[in-house]
Structure 1
Amino acid sequence: MLGALLLVLLAAIWGGSFLFMRIAVPSLGPAYLIEARVLLAALTLMLIAVLTRKALQVKGLGRHYAILGCFNTALPFLLFAYAAQYVNASVLSVLNSTAPFWGVLVSAIWLKTSVSAKTLWGCLSGLIGVIILVDMHELPSMSELVPILAALAATLCYGIASNYTKIAPKVSAFNNAHGNLWASTFLVLPLLLWQPIPSLPTATVGWSVLALGVLCTGVALIIYFKLIDMLGAAQALTVTFLIPLFGILWGAWFLAEPIGLNTLFGAVFVIQGVMLVTDVKFSKLLFWRKPAASTL
């Protein structure tokens, strides 16, 4: 039961990240917002590392953290922040759930893994969901389509990162998170030179940035590690199915975003596709058993 509660809490937090981006990005711009997000998250994990006496493993891992930081954090965060300037939080949260489809595609091309018929059906369901979500009965203009493509490119980055970790140096989950956040901080930093310095943010924007960095990134990763330890990596991935529900809820509640039928039906097809691709069932969460060996 504790595992299921933590799963819902994590989905609520990660679903809120799209809300906070929508609030903060018009004032700060993508580069400053994401630099603040990853720096605050890195400092949060550094504090936790000090308190728990978990020194960051660095020797010989600089290149690894840079690759992971680029594809798992810096690039997708920047792309989502760009898209958040034009796309509703509810739509972004559903598009975020397409990451497993990209993971399958990247794995098939890069690692030459076979793809089952069930997985192909799942990917097809996800594609149908995205088409419904974009509301393709009227062909969108390029200005409307580019942010959607940016969000999908962000989830492609997640697919690349997830497959990279299969062949990457064996590092604990906490070290990967901690190291990749510091790498992301340095990767995003040069982009600040290309973006005008924003004006002093309002209190609402400031609190949104703080929540995005500390809660939605730093604290959320700790909860995710705990879920992996309690439920196993596969069951922890079921958070992907719940994020759109909270993304849609928070967007409607706090930003008065309209919930169209295309958003609801698109979400259903995407979530159904993710369930087919990942082959994870919610019913297992009620009777989970702790893995024999911790993955951390």
Structure 2
Amino acid sequence: MNHAHDTVAAAPANSSHAAVQPHAGWLTPLELALLGAIWGASFLFMRVAADDFGPVPLVLLRLALGALLLLPFLWRARGAFPLRLWPLLTLIGVINSALPFMLFAWAAQRAPAGVGAIANALTVLFTALVGAMFFGEKIGGRRALALLIGFIGVVVLASGKIAGMSIGWATAAGALASLLYGVGANLVRRHLAGLPAAALAAATLGAAALVTLPFALLTWPTQAVPGVSWWSALALGVLCTGSAYVLYYRLIARVGASRASTVTYLVPLFGVGWAWLLLDEPLTWPMAIAGGLILGSVAISQRRGK
């Protein structure tokens, strides 16, 4: 997730305890599809704007706009965020937002938008792997198999060429971004559990924006940025970050984190689809095979044991 990315991408701190509420049968699939379409579009917007802005300035705009949109949630819950908590919030903001966003933007300069969208699906597997390696969680045979299949998918994706260009480094950047999302998810789950999710997102995005600001100013574009890139940056921050978080948290509150996380399956499909439809980017056999392997591995990892 974009990133989720954004993450989403990492589940909010209190997501595992969210109460499953009654819901209209048609509303949840509709909102899942909408969220998948929005997060899938983030890779399209990065592909359009990354060259004109550069990765760091583009990420600053994304972080700042997303934080501003979520600021009312933070203001309402400000009592839950004492000063002593902000160094940790800043660290998690950098790990879980700033660095992954930069890696995906860097990859978007070098490979089709679909590559990043497919790599992003690894977040679920990396969250399990980091939990097993550093936090004592049991990974189990099924998830170990899923990780192996997912990594094979990454190798297939990295070995592909599109329009004669190697996309190996872009794939590696996307995989590293997903690993950072996995680290961030585990840190949030263990150190920030119980905080209001939307307020937490506002705090981490805002702190990450402040850390990114000096680096963005140093690399700010000297040439005029086209209007289409400005609109893409605006959509990336307002739609794909701020608004998408609100929609994701609504889903978690209504149907629970496990069901909401199925959006992971939709992001690569929409990411590749938007790029094909609007940017005329090709769908290659390595992308299709890698996407199938990675999404299949995510499906295996999320199946409930008997």
Return the TM-score normalized by structure 1: 0.88
**CA distances 1:162-216 after superposition (whole Å, capped 9, x unpaired):** 1112211331211210110111111111212442534222111111011000000
Question: In the aligned structure 2, how far is the partner of 1:259 from the partner of 1:275?
Answer: 22
Task: Tell me what 1:199 maps to.
Answer: 223
Task: Give the secondary-structure state (helix, strand or coil) at the position aligned to 2:98.
Answer: helix
Which residue does the alignment assign to 1:28?
A: 53
From 28, 36, 43, the equivalent of 1:3 is 28
CA distance in 2, matches of 1:56, 1:144: 46
Does the aligned pair in 2 maintain the 1:235–1:280 contact within 8 Å?
Answer: no
Deviations 1:123-152 (A, max 9, x none): 1111121122223699x99x7432221111
1:287 matched residue in structure 2: none
Alignment-mate amino acid for residue 251 of structure 1:
A
Q: What is the CA–CA distance in structure 2 between the aligned matches of 1:168 and 1:37, rounded to whole Å?
A: 25
How far 1:230 moved relative to its partner? 1.0
2:174 to 140, 148, 151: 151
Q: Where do 5+ consecutive residues of structure 1 fail to align?
A: 282-296
Find the aligned partners of 1:41 and 1:58 in 2 and give their Cα distance.
19
The residue number in structure 1 matching 2:105 is 81
Change (3 A) 1:212 1:103: same
- In 2, the alpha carbon distance for the partners of 1:49 and 1:126 equals 36
Alignment of 1:212-231 (within 5 A): 212-231=236-255
Match of 1:169 in 2: 192
**C-alpha distance after superposition, 1:252-279 (max 9, x if no partner):** 0111101112111211110010111122
Deviations 1:5-42 (A, max 9, x none): 10110000000000000000100001110001111111
In 1, Cα distance between equivalents of 2:142 and 2:177: 25
Please report how far the alpha carbon of residue 56 of structure 1 lies from its aligned counterpart in structure 2 after TM superposition.
6.8
Correspondent of 2:281 among 252, 257, 263: 257
SS at match of 1:61: helix
Q: Is the 8 A contact 1:22 1:88 kept in 2?
A: yes
Alignment match, 1:284 = none
Deviation, structure 1 residue 55: 4.2
- CA deviations 1:215-256 (Å, max 9, x no partner) are 000000000000101110111111111100000100101111
> Which piece of structure 1 moves more, 124-133 or 176-185?
124-133
CA distance in 2, matches of 1:180, 1:148: 26
In structure 2, C-alpha distance between the alignment counterparts of 1:169 and 1:122, rounded to whole Å:
28
Q: Deviations over 1:40-59 (max 9, x none)?
A: 11111125666xx4547431
**Inter-partner Cα distance in structure 2 for 1:158 and 1:148:** 15
Q: Which runs of 5+ in 2 are unaligned?
A: 1-25
- What percent identity do the matched residue pairs reach? 34
For 1:242 and 1:26, locate their aligned partners in 2 and report how far apart those are by CA, in whole Å.
Answer: 26
User: What displacement does 1:72 show?
Assistant: 1.0
Partner of 1:211: 235
CA distance in 2, matches of 1:137, 1:120: 29
In structure 2, distance between residues paired with 1:95 and 1:40? 25
- Higher mean alpha-carbon deviation, 146-155 vs 243-252, is at 146-155
User: 1:13 corresponds to which residue?
Assistant: 38
Change (3 A) 1:180 1:207: same
3-state SS of 1:220 partner: helix
**SS state at 1:182 partner:** helix
Code of the aligned partner of 1:146:
W
The whole-number CA distance in structure 1 between the counterparts of 2:160 and 2:52 is 31
> Is contact 1:56-1:179 (8 Å) kept?
no
In the alignment, which residue of structure 2 is the partner of 1:178?
A: 202
Shift of 1:92: 0.8
Answer yes or no: is 1:41 the counterpart of 2:66: yes
- Partner Cα separation in structure 2 for residue 166 and residue 47 of structure 1: 23
Conserved? CA contact 2:116–2:170, under 8 Å:
no
Q: Which amino acid aligns with 2:111?
A: V
Q: Is the 8 A contact 1:40 1:213 kept in 2?
A: yes
Contact 2:73 2:202 in 1 (8 A): no
| RMSD of aligned alpha carbons | 2.2
Residue 68 of structure 1 pairs with residue 92 of structure 2: yes
Q: Do the aligned partners of 1:16 and 1:250 also contact (CA within 8 Å) in 2?
A: yes
